[in-house]
Amino acid sequence: MQKKRAVQNVIYHVFVIAFGLLMIYPVLWMILSSFKMKSEILGNNAPFLPSTWVFENYPNGWKGSGSLTFATYFKNSIIVSCLGTLGTVISSAMVAYALARVKFRGRKFWFTAMIMTMLLPGQVLMIPQYIIWNRLGLVGTFVPLILPKYLGWPFFIYMMMQFIRGLPKELDEAAMIDGCNKYSIFTRIVLPLLGPSIITTIVISFYWIWDDYMGPLLYLSKPALYTVSLAIKGFADTQGTNFGPMFAMSSLSLIPVFLLFLFFNRYLMDGVTAGAVKG
Amino acid sequence: MRKNLLALLLAVAMLCAMAVPAMAEKAEGWNNVNAEGYEYPDYSGKTLSIMWWGSDTRAQLTEEIIHMWEEKTGATVEFENYDGGGYWTVFQSKMAANDLPDVFQMGNNWLTYYDTIEPLNAYIDDGTIDTTAISEAMIATTVNQANGDVTGMSNGTNARCFAYNPAIFDEAGVPYPTDNWTWDDFAAAGRAITEATGNPAITTLEYNSLAFSAVTQWKEGYNFYAMDGSDFAFEGDIEPLTYIIGLLSDLQSEGVIADFGVQNEIGKNIEADWIAFGDAAMVMLSSNQFQALSNVAAESGIELALATIPRVYADGQSGMVVRSSQQMSIYSGSDNKEMAANFINFFVNSIECNKVLNCERGVSINSDVLAALKADSEKTNDVTAKVYTLIDLVGSFPDAANSSPAEPAANEEISDVLLKTYFQGMADGKFADAQEAAEKFWAEAQEIWAKYENQ
Amino acid sequence: MQAAKQTRKGSFLHNDNVVGYIFAAPFIISFLCLTLIPMALSLYYSFCNYKIGAAPEWIGIQNFANLLKDGTFTNSLLVTIQYVAIGVPLKLVFALFVAMLLTRPTRVQGLYRAIYYIPSLIGGSVAVALVWKQLFGSRGPVVSLIKALGATGFNFFGSTTWAFLPLVLCNAWQFGSSMLIFASGLKQISKEYYEAAEIDGAGAVKRFFSITLPILSPIILFNLIMQLISGFMTFTQAQIITDGGPNYATNYIALNIFKEGFSFQHMGYACAQSWVMLLIMAAVTGIIFKTSSHWTFYEN
pLDDT (tens, 9 = 90+) of chain A, 279 residues, equals 678 888 888 999 999 999 999 899 889 989 999 999 988 888 766 778 898 899 999 999 999 877 889 999 999 999 999 999 999 999 999 999 999 999 999 999 999 999 999 998 888 899 999 999 999 999 999 999 999 999 999 999 999 999 998 888 888 888 888 888 889 889 988 898 888 889 999 999 999 999 999 999 999 999 999 999 999 998 988 888 889 999 999 999 999 999 999 999 888 775 444 333 332
Please tell me the distance in Å from B94's CA to the nearest CA on chain C: 9
Strand B47-53 and strand B76-82: pairing?
parallel
| A233–B82 CB contact, under 8 Å | yes
C218 contact residues in A (CB cutoff 8 A): 162-163, 165-166
Task: Reduce the DSSP state of residue B49 to 3 states and report it.
Answer: strand
Strand B153-158 relative to strand B117-118, pairing: unpaired
- Asked if B225 and B116 sit in the same domain, the reply is no
Give the span between the Cα atoms of C102 and C90, in whole angstroms. Answer: 18
Measured in angstroms, the CA of B428 and the nearest CA of chain A are apart by 25
Contact B299/A37, CB-based, under 8 Å? yes
Verify that B215 and B293 share a domain, yes or no. Answer: yes
- Burial (CB count <10 Å: 0-12, 13-18, 19+), residue A229: buried
Q: What are phi and psi of A75, to 5 degrees?
A: -60, -50
Q: Which residue of B has its CA nearest to A46?
A: B277
Say if residue C9's pLDDT is above 70: no
- Chain A: residue whose CA lies nearest to B297: A39
- Inform me whether the C-beta atom of residue C252 falls under 8 Å from chain B C-beta atoms: no
How far apart are the CA of C160 and the nearest CA of chain A, in angstroms?
23
H-helix or E-strand spanning residue B155: strand B153-158
Calculate mean pLDDT across residues B93-119.
94
DSSP 8-state secondary structure symbol assigned to residue C240 = I
* Percentage with pLDDT > 70 across chain B: 94
Instruction: Find chain C residues with C-beta within 8 A of A121's C-beta.
Output: 233, 235, 253-254, 257-258, 274, 277
Going by C-beta distance under 8 Å and a sequence separation of 6 or more, which residues neighbour residue A115?
A: A154, A158, C225, C285
Of all residues in chain C, the one with the smallest CA distance to A199 is C184
Q: How far apart are CA C73 and CA B294, in angstroms?
A: 40
Does residue B350 lie in a domain region?
yes
Q: What is the pLDDT of residue A59?
A: 94
State residue B455's pLDDT score: 66
Longest dimension (CA), chain A: 72
Same domain, B263 and B195: yes
What is the 3-state secondary structure of chain A? CHHHHHHHHHHHHHHHHHHHHHHHHHHHHHHHHCCCCHHHHHCCCCCCCCCCCCCCHHHHHHCCCCCCCHHHHHHHHHHHHHHHHHHHHHHHHHHHHHHHHCCCCCHHHHHHHHHHHCCCCHHHHHHHHHHHHHHCCCCCCCHHHHHHHHHCCHHHHHHHHHHHHCCCHHHHHHHHHCCCCHHHHHHHHHHHHCHHHHHHHHHHHHHHHHHCCHHHHHHCCCHHHCCHHHHHHCCCCCCCCCHHHHHHHHHHHHHHHHHHHHHHHHHHHCCCCCCCCCC
Q: What digits encode the pLDDT tens for the residues B289-331?
A: 999 999 999 999 999 999 999 999 999 999 999 999 999 999 9
d(CA C163, CA C160): 6
Q: What angle do CA C206, C212, C216 make, to 5 degrees?
A: 150
Q: Where are the alpha helices (DSSP H) in B175-269?
A: 183-197, 207-218, 239-253, 260-266
**Does B128 lie in the same domain as B167?**
no
Mean pLDDT, residues C35-52 taken together? 93
Peptide bond between residue A256 and the one before it cis (omega within 30 degrees of 0): no
Q: Is the pLDDT of residue C4 over 50?
A: no
Q: Are residues B303 and B426 in the same domain?
A: yes
CB nearest C245 (choices: B260, B452, B454)? B260
What pLDDT is attached to residue B1? 43
CATH of the domain at B168: 3.40.190.10
- Cross-chain residue pair C137–B265, CB shorter than 8 Å: yes
Q: Are B276 and B152 in contact (CB under 8 A)?
A: no
Sorted by where each starts, the structural domains of chain C and their CATH numbers stand as 1-45 (no CATH), 63-295 (1.10.3720.10)
Partner-chain contact A162 C38, CB within 8 Å:
no
Alpha-carbon span B363 to B348, nearest angstrom:
11
Q: Which residues contact C150 (CB under 8 A, 6 or more apart)?
A: none
Using CB atoms, pick whichever of A23, A110, A277 lies closest to residue C27.
A110
Distance from CA of B268 to the nearest CA of A (A): 6
> Is residue B235 located within the same domain as residue B304?
yes
Min Cα–Cα distance to chain B from A152, Å: 25
Instruction: Please check whether residue B57 lies inside any domain of the structure.
Output: yes
Query: Which pLDDT band, with edges at 50, 70 and 90, does B394 fall under?
Result: very high
Contact yes or no for B390/B164 (Cβ under 8 A):
no
Instruction: Encode pLDDT of C140-179 as tens digits.
Output: 888 888 888 877 778 898 888 999 999 999 999 989 899 9
- Give the percent of chain C with pLDDT over 90: 51
Please tell me the least confidently modeled range out of B280-284, B346-350, C3-7. Answer: C3-7
pLDDT of residue B8: 52
pLDDT value of position B291: 94
**Pairing mode of beta strands B117-118, B305-307:** unpaired
- C-chain residues near A176 (CB < 8 A): 1, 4-5
B4: confidence class by pLDDT, cuts 50, 70, 90: low
Q: Which amino acid is at B372?
A: A
B448-452: Cβ within 8 A, 24+ apart: B448/B410, B448/B413, B448/B414, B448/B417, B449/B232, B449/B408, B449/B410, B449/B414, B451/B410, B451/C266, B452/B408, B452/B409, B452/B410, B452/C265
Q: How far is CA C108 from the centre of its chain?
A: 30
User: Does C218 sit within 8 Å of A163, measured CB to CB?
Assistant: yes
Residue B19 — pLDDT band, cuts 50, 70, 90? very low
B187 lies in the same domain as B111: no
Residue of B244, B258, B366 whose CA lies nearest to B312? B244
Q: How confident is the model at residue C208 (pLDDT cuts 50, 70, 90)?
A: confident
β-strand partners of B47? B76
Are β-strands B47-53 and B117-118 bridged in parallel, bridged antiparallel, or unpaired?
unpaired
Structural domain count of chain B: 2
Q: How far is CA B330 from the centre of its chain?
A: 19
Question: Is some CB atom of chain B closer than 8 A to the CB atom of A138?
Answer: no
Asked whether residue B22 is assigned to any structural domain, the reply reads: no
**Within an 8 Å CB–CB cutoff, is residue C128 touching chain A?**
yes
Q: What is the pLDDT of residue B10?
A: 52
* Rounded CA separation B373/B378 (Å): 9
Are B272 and A42 within 8 A, CB to CB? yes
Answer whether residue C8 shows pLDDT above 60: no
Beta-carbon count within 10 A of A159 CB: 26
> Mean of the per-residue pLDDT values for chain C?
88
**pLDDT score at C2:** 45
C43 Cβ under 8 Å from any chain A Cβ: no
Q: Are C51 and C257 in contact (CB under 8 A)?
A: no
Q: Give me the interface pTM, i.e. the ipTM.
A: 0.91
Helix/strand number for chain C, H first, E second: 16, 2
Q: Is the pLDDT of residue B25 over 80?
A: no
Contacts of A158 in chain C (CB under 8 A): 222, 225-226
Helical spans, DSSP H, in C31-148? 36-45, 62-69, 71-101, 109-117, 126-135, 141-148
* Residues B44-66 pLDDT 10s: 999 999 999 999 999 999 999 99
User: In CATH, which superfamily holds the domain spanning A66-234?
Assistant: MetI-like (1.10.3720.10)
CA A14 to chain centroid: 30
CB contact at 8 A, B295 and B149: no
Q: So where are chain A's domains? A: 66-234
DSSP H or E segment with residue B172 = helix B166-172
Torsion, CA C5, CA C11, CA C13, CA C14, rounded to 10: 0
User: Is B211 inside a domain boundary?
Assistant: yes
Binned at pLDDT 50, 70 and 90, residue C57 comes out as very high
Over residues C241-293, the pLDDT tens digits come to 888 878 999 999 999 999 999 999 899 999 999 999 999 999 999 999 999 98
* Other chains touching B, judged by 3 or more CB pairs under 8 Å: A, C
Those residues whose C-beta lies under 8 Å from the C-beta of residue C178, and which sit 6 or more positions away, are C91, C92, C95, C96, C223, C227
Same domain, yes or no: B349 and B419: no
DSSP letter, residue B50: E
Higher pLDDT pick, C44 / C215: C44
Determine how many CB atoms are found less than 10 A away from the CB of residue A177.
10
Q: Report if residue B385 sits inside a domain.
A: no
**Domain identity same for B84 and B229:** no
Rg (CA), chain A: 24
Angle at B367 (CA atoms; ends B365, B368), nearest 5 degrees: 125
Q: What is the pLDDT of residue C245?
A: 78
- Record the pTM: 0.91
Q: What pLDDT sits at residue A270?
A: 52
Q: Tens of pLDDT along B408-436?
A: 989 999 999 999 999 999 998 999 999 99
Residue A97: alpha-carbon gap to chain centroid: 22
B175 and chain A: CB distance < 8 Å anywhere? no
pLDDT at A61: 93
Q: Which domain holds residue B263?
A: 160-321+403-453
